[in-house]
Chains A and B, each alone.
Chain A
Amino acid sequence: MSERLSYLIMLVSIPILWVLAIRISGFPSFLLPPPEMVADVLWSERASLLSHTWTTVVEALTGYAIANAIAIALAVSFLYLPWLEALAIPWTVIIKNIPFVTIASILIIILGDTPLPKIIIVVLITFFPILANVTKGLKSVDSVLLDRMKTLDSSQWDIFVKVRWPSALPYYIAAHEIAFTGSIIGAVVAEWLFARQGLGFLIVQSMKQYRADRLWAVTLLASALAVGAYMLVKIIERYLFRWQVQDLT
Chain B
Amino acid sequence: MWLPLVVAPIGGNAETDSSLLAIEFTRVSKRFGHVAALQDVSLSVQEGEFLSLIGPSGCGKTTMLRIAAGLELPTAGEVLVDGDTPQNACRLHRIGVAFQRPALLASRTALGNVRMTLEITGRADALSPDDLLTDFGLGEFQHHYPHQLSGGMRQRVNIAAALVHNPPILLLDEPFGALDELTRESMSEWLGGVLSRSAKTVIFVTHSVEEATILSDRVAVLSARPGRISEIIDIELPGFRVERADDVELLGGSPVRSRAIRTDENFLREVARVRSSLYRAVELSN
Contacts and interface: CB of A to CB of B under 8 A. Distances in A.
A163 B161 CA distance: 15
Contacts of A243: 107, 109, 145
A219 to B, nearest CB: 40
Given A152-B90, A153-B91, A153-B93, A162 B119 contact: yes
B105 interface: yes
B107 A169 contact: yes
Interface in B63-78: 66, 69-71
B203 interface: no
A162 B69 CA distance: 21
A145 B103 CA distance: 5
Contacts of B161: 148
A242 B90 CA distance: 35
Contacts of B105: 145, 162-163, 166-167
Contacts of B91: 153
A158 B90 contact: no
B124 interface: no
Nearest to B109: A243
B117 interface: yes
B164 to A, nearest CB: 11
A151 B89 CA distance: 9
Contacts of A147: 66, 69, 71, 97, 99, 103
A144 interface: yes
B221 to A, nearest CB: 26
A147 to B, nearest CB: 6
A223 interface: no
B71 A162 contact: no
Contacts of B119: 158, 162
A128 B205 CA distance: 44
A151 B107 contact: no
A158 to B, nearest CB: 6
A152 B101 contact: no
Contacts of A142: 101, 103
A158 B120 contact: yes
Interface in B110-152: 116-117, 119-121, 144-145, 147-148
A144 B70 contact: no
A144 to B, nearest CB: 4
B242 interface: no
> B interface, how many residues as a size bin?
20 to 34
Contacts of A148: 97, 99, 103, 161-162
Contacts of A149: 120
Nearest to A243: B145
Nearest to A240: B107
A81 to B, nearest CB: 23
Interface in B47-84: 66, 69-71
B86 to A, nearest CB: 9
B103 A152 contact: no
A158 B116 CA distance: 10
Nearest to B71: A147
A154 interface: yes
Contacts of A151: 69-71, 90, 95-97
Nearest to B87: A153
Contacts of A145: 103-105
B195 to A, nearest CB: 19
A166 B90 contact: no
A150 interface: yes
Contacts of A102: none
A157 to B, nearest CB: 11
A169 B106 CA distance: 12
A153 B90 contact: yes
Nearest to A248: B148
Of B102, B104, B119, B120, which is in contact with the most chain A CB atoms at under 10 Å from its CB?
A: B120
B148 A246 contact: yes
Contacts of B165: 152
Nearest to A150: B71
Nearest to B92: A153
Given A142-B101, A147-B99, A147-B103, A152 B147 contact: no
B88 to A, nearest CB: 9
6 contacts: A142-B103, A148-B103, A152-B90, A152-B117, A153-B121, A243-B107
Given A144-B103, A153-B90, A248-B144, 8 more contacts: A145-B103, A150-B70, A151-B95, A151-B96, A152-B93, A152-B120, A167-B105, A241-B107
